[in-house]
Structure 1
Amino acid sequence: MRRQSAIQKARHLKWLRALGRRIRRRRSKGAFFGGISLRRPDDALEAFRIATAKLPVPKIDVRPFAWPGMPKHKATFIYAPKTLWLNAAHDEVLGFMYQYRLLSYRSDLLIAKRRQSMVADLTGVESLGLDAALMLTAEYHRNCLKFPNRRPYISDETWPPPIRSVFRSLGLYDLVDAPPPNNEEEIEEPFDLRFVPFISGEKVEGEVADQLIRQLSEVAGSTPARVKVYAGLLEAIKNVRNHAYPVDAPPRIDPIVNRWWGAGAYQPSKRQLQFAVYDQGVGIPATLPKKTFFEAILQMTKPERTDADVIEGAIEYGRTQTDLEERGNGLWTICDVVRELKGSSVRIVSGRGQVTWSAGRGVRKKNFVNPFCGTLIEWTLRLPPEDEGRAIA
């Protein structure tokens, strides 16, 4: 992963403008593909350019691609960064995800004209986090939902075996066309992590959230603070349902599905549980100003506030509220999961901010130049020794 040179930036801008012209031509004809109208406002491309202006651009090339039973054809390959872990390589992962979205949509436009594929190559990945793994799985799942008659391709022969094992555990291979697995390959715990299959939905579904908790309990042997975990998951899902995809959301160049995704993993060496909820919506800082309690949140932030300050203010506001009607304490419910578990934390990434909350260390904030592609809420729970073999309500 590298920063763009002046020539690369010029080429990338030229390509974006060409894509804009293609969209406008199709828009003038009222073209549709896969049930999605291609009448997208011109400012969607401008918004994309602004969102990705200072992000590293992954390696992208076009080469022949062959698949069993298919004629050889050209495919666009996008190469993942070696650290596919948002918490460790935020800009590199975000740049990869944004370009993956753009190339997926470009492939959707071109495939109507001639057969062309877009393939993500994970050959160079050396470390992988739950956050980025869930985000990439969500992108594949979204493509399957929008184009149910066309499964995405992957070419994983050169992927490191632990990477293949992670995505098989997550359920990615149920969504794609891929070579058959090598039966001789056995990677039980890649990266010292046991992943569980992803879940997804459109509504606030307690049964689906409980399914994830059961899966985590099976791999970890227990789930601490189960009642709070359940409440935190439901609150994160409720945030998606109520706020992530407003009807007045700004235009985007990629198709939107009003869904959330969740997944989890267990790290035996640290007796640590991780689980996350992710959506591809507009972000918490963009929706809070429309709430009746936003003025109260502003009173808890400094005048020159950032997105991270707004998220922190919303957590603090929720912690101090006790009334039941539109109390605005959703983010505090999400954080309350880790309040009594030493060494545990919750991380919220949304807009241009990141807030990590833990009982022992309080709030840690980060601010970024580029906006995040949705909202990610990730819990990290440290299982206490006395919790071994049983669950704590």
Structure 2
Amino acid sequence: MRRPQAARQKIVQRIGARRTADERARRLSYLGEKRAASRAPSLRGAFDPKQQREIVPVPATLDLGQNREATLAVARTCRENCFKRRRSTVLDFTHTKKISSGAVLLLVAEIDRCRRLAGPKMLTGTYPKDKKLHGQMRDSGFFEALHVNSRLDGEERTYPMEYIKVVSGSEADGHLARELRLKLLGPLDVQVAQEAKTSFFRSLSEAMTNVSQHAYPDESLRGKIHVIPKGWWMLGHINKLRSELKVMIVDQGIGIPRSLPKKHPMELINEVLSKSLSLLGIVKPTDGQMIKAAMEVGRSRMGQDNRGKGLNDLKKLIQACGSGRLRILSNHGEYTYTEGGSERLHAYDDSINGTFIEWTVPLKAILPFLEEGRDEKH
């Protein structure tokens, strides 16, 4: 005997409601697990009762690639001890042997934030045994951030990097962008093609502007972990062995995936994302896909044609040079662009709590080919 139509509809509605509730419960469980996973584990060290401080051992290798979790754990420990536990901390670099340039910048920014907002006595560090790393920490500005003096002052460098020390600010500074270029390239600057100089200058200035305008909305300044309003940190170096120039900038704002919808209408973002997401069968974009969308959206919230193009200037310079790499880490996502138009996206369980931009170009790609008679002033 068939049930009446109304009865069948009620059964379908109950099943649908139960299924919706189950799906909602599974979704909440998944998000809870994801949030827990995103909290990079903190490092714990021995507590010195006499000095009333915790001695935290820093891992042997720190970088934002294979050792990303260890690097973020150091940053998280600094934040927790300074702002939540209110415990004076010493970062022990005794057995650390390698810190990549990206990890240097990320940790210097975290150390600077903690010392400035929680107090200079809350965080300091020790010296590594490795002389090469000691020289890198000296010349990159790591020791200055920790407020300790180098033990190798005056000694010759033992590594092939020509660093400028980390610089920081809270507003766009065109003079600083030019100064950075001159410091990095030194006498080579006169050989740099004019179009490369212009793009370099505009890209760095725009990166600073984007941070000051979009990375720190008002609500981000009222969180449990304090931030330096509009703060950014920048580091650059020339690798003499590889003959390449690298410039990095990091901020501790809300990240590109969260700031993009505040800068641009969602209709525009969805239009940019719709094709790639439909092909992959994905409903909600990952942070990596949101970074890619930010690269493709060509106008800013203010509707100014000359705004919001800094990242694309870096991308266009790589295209013009035919060589180089642009790497952007923001929150849980990563976007990498290399010569030839190759793009790679990645999603992580943990978050860097901000945005990190790394731009690498071989020196030979930005220097003019003098043997071909190029005028270095044009």
1:211 is matched with 179
Q: Residue 279 in 1 paired to residue 251 in 2?
A: yes
2:290 is matched with 310
Contact (CA 8 Å) 2:168, 2:233: kept in 1 or not? yes
Alpha-carbon distance between aligned partners in 2 of 1:55 and 1:82, rounded to the nearest angstrom: 21
1:96 is matched with 74
Matches within 5 A, 1:262-301: 262-301=234-273
By how many angstroms is 1:223 displaced? 5.3
Shift of the 143–371 alpha-carbon distance from structure 1 to 2, 3 Å rule, reads: closer
Q: Which amino acid aligns with 1:230?
A: F
Larger Rg computed on CA atoms: 2
Q: Which amino acid aligns with 1:292?
A: H
Q: Which amino acid aligns with 1:53?
A: A
Contact (CA 8 Å) 1:357, 1:363: kept in 2 or not? yes
2:373 is matched with none
Any idea what SS the aligned residue of 1:371 has?
Answer: coil
By how many angstroms is 1:48 displaced? 12
Alpha-carbon distance between aligned partners in 2 of 1:218 and 1:254, rounded to the nearest angstrom: 39
Any idea what SS the aligned residue of 2:349 has?
Answer: coil
Matches within 5 A, 1:223-372: 225-249=196-220, 252-258=223-229, 259-301=231-273, 302=277, 303-318=283-298, 324-325=304-305, 328-372=308-352
Any idea what SS the aligned residue of 1:233 has?
Answer: helix
Structure 2: where are the runs of 5+ without partners?
1-30, 278-282, 371-375
Shift of the 385–335 alpha-carbon distance from structure 1 to 2, 3 Å rule, reads: closer
Contact (CA 8 Å) 2:298, 2:309: kept in 1 or not? yes
Q: Residue 162 in 1 paired to residue 120 in 2?
A: no
Shift of the 279–136 alpha-carbon distance from structure 1 to 2, 3 Å rule, reads: same
Shift of the 344–124 alpha-carbon distance from structure 1 to 2, 3 Å rule, reads: same
By how many angstroms is 1:261 displaced? 0.5
Any idea what SS the aligned residue of 2:272 has?
Answer: coil
1:188 is matched with 157
Shift of the 148–349 alpha-carbon distance from structure 1 to 2, 3 Å rule, reads: same
Q: Which amino acid aligns with 1:227?
A: T
Give the count of matched residue pairs.
328
Q: Residue 128 in 1 paired to residue 99 in 2?
A: yes
Contact (CA 8 Å) 1:152, 1:175: kept in 2 or not? no
Q: Which amino acid aligns with 1:284?
A: I
Shift of the 182–271 alpha-carbon distance from structure 1 to 2, 3 Å rule, reads: closer
Structure 1: where are the runs of 5+ without partners?
1-46, 66-71, 111-116
Contact (CA 8 Å) 1:194, 1:265: kept in 2 or not? yes
Instruction: Write the deviation string for residues 135-194 of structure 1: whole angstroms up to 9, x where unpaired.
Output: 1111222234325664842221x44222221121122333444356245x835143x322
Question: So what's the TM-score if we normalise by structure 1?
Answer: 0.74
Contact (CA 8 Å) 2:135, 2:152: kept in 1 or not? no
Contact (CA 8 Å) 2:252, 2:355: kept in 1 or not? yes
Any idea what SS the aligned residue of 2:318 has?
Answer: coil
Alpha-carbon distance between aligned partners in 1 of 2:43 and 2:307, rounded to the nearest angstrom: 46
Instruction: Write the deviation string for residues 296-341 of structure 1: whole angstroms up to 9, x where unpaired.
Output: 122121144211111112212339xxx8448643432342232222
Contact (CA 8 Å) 2:261, 2:269: kept in 1 or not? no
Q: Which amino acid aligns with 1:203?
A: E
Q: 2:167 aligns with which of 196, 199, 202?
A: 199
Instruction: Write the deviation string for residues 229-253 of structure 1: whole angstroms up to 9, x where unpaired.
Output: 1111111111110111100228533
Shift of the 51–245 alpha-carbon distance from structure 1 to 2, 3 Å rule, reads: farther
Shift of the 49–149 alpha-carbon distance from structure 1 to 2, 3 Å rule, reads: farther
Instruction: Write the deviation string for residues 255-287 of structure 1: whole angstroms up to 9, x where unpaired.
Output: 210210101111111111111011011101001
Any idea what SS the aligned residue of 1:369 has?
Answer: coil
Contact (CA 8 Å) 1:55, 1:94: kept in 2 or not? no
Alpha-carbon distance between aligned partners in 2 of 1:126 and 1:365, rounded to the nearest angstrom: 29
2:45 is matched with 61
Matches within 5 A, 1:100-119: 100-106=78-84, 109-110=86-87, 117-119=88-90
Shift of the 386–58 alpha-carbon distance from structure 1 to 2, 3 Å rule, reads: closer
Alpha-carbon distance between aligned partners in 2 of 1:189 and 1:361, rounded to the nearest angstrom: 36
Contact (CA 8 Å) 1:344, 1:382: kept in 2 or not? yes
Shift of the 274–327 alpha-carbon distance from structure 1 to 2, 3 Å rule, reads: closer
Contact (CA 8 Å) 1:262, 1:275: kept in 2 or not? yes
Alpha-carbon distance between aligned partners in 1 of 2:158 and 2:187, rounded to the nearest angstrom: 11
Any idea what SS the aligned residue of 2:198 has?
Answer: helix
By how many angstroms is 1:54 displaced? 5.3
Question: So what's the TM-score if we normalise by structure 2?
Answer: 0.76
By how many angstroms is 1:87 displaced? 2.9
Q: Please provide the CA RMSD for this pair.
A: 3.2
Contact (CA 8 Å) 1:285, 1:311: kept in 2 or not? yes
Between the aligned residues of both structures, percent identity stands at 24
Shift of the 166–386 alpha-carbon distance from structure 1 to 2, 3 Å rule, reads: closer
Contact (CA 8 Å) 1:77, 1:120: kept in 2 or not? yes
Any idea what SS the aligned residue of 2:219 has?
Answer: coil
